[in-house]
Amino acid sequence: MRRSSGAAAWALGVAVAFFLAAEAAGAAPVPHDYEQALRKSLLYFEAQRSGRLPYGQRVAWRDHSGLTDGLEQGVDLVGGYYDAGDHVKFGLPMAFTVTMLSWSLLEYGGDVAAAGELAHALESIKWGTDYFIKAHTKPDELWAEVGDGDTDHYCWQRPEDMTTSRQAYKVDRERPGSDVAGETAAALAAASMAFRETNPHYAHLLLHHAQQLFEFADKYRGKYDSSIAEVKSYYASVSGYHDELLWAALWLHRATGRASYLDYVVDNAHEFGGTGWAITEFSWDVKYAGVQILATRLLLRGEHEERHRATLEGYRAKAEHYVCACMGRNAAAEDNVERSPGGMLYVRQWNNMQYVTSAAYLLSVYSGYLTEAGAGKGAAVTCAGGEASADAGEVFAHARAQVDYVLGSNPRGISYLVGYGAKFPARVHHRAASIVPYKDRKEFIGCAQGFDDWFGRKSANPNVVVGAIVGGPDRHDRFRDDRVNYMQTEACTYNTAPMVGMFAMLNRLARQEGPSPAARRPESSRSTAAAE
């Protein structure tokens, strides 16, 4: 997690390039308190914890929950994260969340540490990886879900009062799940590097599980939503499992340096779509853009054999298609990501912010890889069939603009990071946040009682889910702050995870650029003006 001199040079270069780009556009960047955003983002993961909460739990309106998870199946599945505003523990998005948290520390860990948040960041990762170790009960067995989405959605309860099914579901040799096993392998491999300096024994344990899970995912291939029918309505694996296999192999190569993992990525590049799919989104389901950018990193850094070059160039071409799509630089309009009038990347109406934050992260790390490679190595993005290009500074400027949009630099002046700024969503679609805290009212709240007494209230939630990034506005920058409007007001762990490193890095850049009186926003625990 130490910063290299190349990373420092990148930071200075992108800061200068960003301001030059802003000046050319006739605009100046709006100052934000990225350090406050970083602190708040890490609080969110404590709000999403399942299991027995630790002594140092900072989100005091949460209490222990899910303490019998796995009991019926004879396995300890206590712990892990609720991914959103409900109480099912879905393995695929949980693993992606941990992968992105770990990647944030691998790229920007020095910045997280400088802000005094490294311990909290590592805790957020470990809460997930401890659970994955429990869930990986045999080399060829992984428990991939606890709870049932259908019954869970019939109720509006605090997690501390849950009466819904806690049935657990697994993938194994007979019921394969290469996507969920592959993503969990990626998460554990990335996390092993995050813990390498502070807890080498734990890092070794994580890597051991990662290697076993990858072998299982590759040997017994199949989509997990074919093995666990209950997940199809919520986290179906639309992209299949090939992207997760490539993704896991790249993370294992980075964690171990073993040539066999890179050989796997090269040998399967065509068959698995790594050099074939030109993608305009990156998410818990669709990993191709991340795969392509990680593969390009190896090419730019020269960490490959010459026989790999042609295939890695193929990965780079598709990585640049994604980057150019986010900047609106591809030749065909349909090959670009739509933008709202306020400049937000828009992919789809349901939880669009997940695509905004993941795109911001990928563009940021890619700009860093370009800068580290240097201009002499073709370190620029080529778009529109070679007719347009962008340097690292331009790529980074687009990434930062998306982060600032999330924080309130948008037409409505709303921060979509809950708890940050003067105006943020007050009626987040979140069961625990919308009901009086358990510590204040311990009497049982029944399944339907939550709907009757709390869900339909027009007032703000009694608890603020600080650090959550909600689904966000529509393609016209319109946002309705209503608990019923779950497509816009529900938050997910994988919305916030990519932003942890981004906030830390931007905090350092902001300090290098110099303080501004407007850069420090007041601390707030409640929205002073609810979004309309």
Query: Which residues have a catalytic role annotated?
Result: 429
* Burial degree of 385 (CB within 10 A; 0-12, 13-18, 19+): exposed
One-letter amino acid of 317: A
Please state, in angstroms and rounded to a whole number, the distance separating the CA atoms of residues 57 and 47: 9
What is the number of alpha carbons within 13 Å of residue 512 lying toward its C-beta?
A: 16
Please state, in angstroms and rounded to a whole number, the distance separating the CA atoms of residues 227 and 170: 8
Supply the DSSP string of 474-525, one letter for each residue.
-TTS-----TT-HHHH-B-HHHHTTHHHHHHHHHHHHHHH---GGG-PPP-S
Residue listed under structure tokens 């990886």 = 129
The 8-class DSSP code of residue 141 comes to B
Could you give the angle at the alpha carbon of 408 between the alpha carbons of 87 and 396, nearest 5°?
A: 95
Between the alpha carbon of residue 32 and those of residues 111, 337, 484, 521, the distances in Å are 16, 26, 30, 7
- Phi first, then psi: what are they for 309, rounded to 5°? -60, -50
Please state, in angstroms and rounded to a whole number, the distance separating the CA atoms of residues 311 and 315: 7
21 close to 400: Cβ distance less than 8 angstroms: no
493 close to 45: Cβ distance less than 8 angstroms: yes
114 close to 131: Cβ distance less than 8 angstroms: no
199-204, long-range: CB < 8 A, 24+ apart: 202/126
One-letter amino acid of 30: V
CA Rg value for the chain: 22
The beta strands (E) that lie in 185-286 are given as none
Core vs surface per residue 274-310: b (16+ CB within 10 A) or e: bbebbbbbbbbbbbbbbbbbbbbbbbbeeebeeebee
Between the alpha carbon of residue 187 and those of residues 131, 247, 479, 498, the distances in Å are 12, 10, 33, 13
